Amino acid sequence: MRYKRANIDSLNLSSQTMEAVFIYHQDFTIETVKSSSIFHPKRWAVTFGRALTRNIIEAKIIHTHLGLTLPLKVFANKSKSQTVEFAGLHGYNERSELLLQTLEALRERLLDARVMRMDVAIDFNGKIPKGITKTLSKLRKPFPCDNTTYWKTPKEKKTNQKMDIKIYNKAHQAGLDYPLMRLEFVFKAGYLKGLRLRDIEAAYQKMEKSIKKATGLSVKIEPIFSL
C-alpha cells in the first residue's frame, strides 16, 4: 500500500514546571508580558502576530540563543500548568529548522510534559485531490474563513476539544514561489488524553487511522525526533 507522508507542524506541551526547563538554561531568557502586575499586550501581538485572549491569565515570551521566540502561557481553566508552543515545525524555512533543533535539544527535559495539541500536516503540490474533499463531504461541511476552509460535522460547534480539520494555501501563508496546499489535522487534549511527549510515537497509528477515516487517505506520520 502506498502512503502519503505527514509531518508534525505544531506541538503544545504542558507541565506544572515548564518555566524551569528554560529559566535555568543559559540558552534562554524569559520576558513576562502578562501577570498579576504586568500587562504588555502590544508586545505579545508584535512578537506573535496575534492578540492575547482573555483565557490566558499569564503570558511570557521565551527568547532563545538562536533568535527564536516561543510563547509560554497559563490558561484560566488550567491555572496550575504552563504551556509552551512549538508552532511551524514543518514550514519550509530556516525558522522550522531552528525550531526542530531547539526541540531536539530540549527533548530529555520535556519527556514528561503532556501533549496538549498536535498539528499534523499533509502537503500537496497544487490542488487537494478531489477524492479527499469528496470523502470529507460525506460527514462534514466546509466553512471558509479567510485563507482557510474548516471541515466540521453537523454536531460540531465553533470549537471542540478533540479534532479540527482544515485546508489552506500553504504557499500563500509561507510566501513560497510554488503552489502548495495543506490538509491539516489538529489533534487536541480531548483526543490525546494525557499523552506524554515520551510516548508520542505510540499515538501515531491512532492519528493515522483518524485521518484515513475522515479522508480516505493512507498516511505515515514522520517521527519528529531523530534516533
Assigned C-alpha cell, 177: 514561489
Which pLDDT belongs to residue 105?
94
Distance of alpha carbon 204 from alpha carbon 84, whole angstroms: 21
Sign of the CA dihedral 39, 40, 42, 46?
negative
Question: Can you read off the three cell numbers belonging to residue 43?
Answer: 508586545
| pTM, rounded to two decimals | 0.94
pLDDT at 182: 98
Q: What is the pLDDT of residues 73-110, one digit of tens each?
A: 999 999 999 999 999 999 999 999 999 999 999 999 99
Compute the distance between CA of residue 2 and CA of residue 67 in angstroms, rounded to an integer: 39
The Cα–Cα gap between 13 and 18 comes to 8
| CA atoms of 34 and 38, how far apart (whole Å) | 5
The list of the chain residues with pLDDT below 70 reads 1, 227
Q: Which of 220, 3, 2, 1 is nearest to 120 (CA)?
A: 220
- Please give the C-alpha separations between residue 217 and each of 43, 79, 165, 167, in angstroms, as whole numbers: 41, 38, 13, 14
pLDDT of residue 1: 67
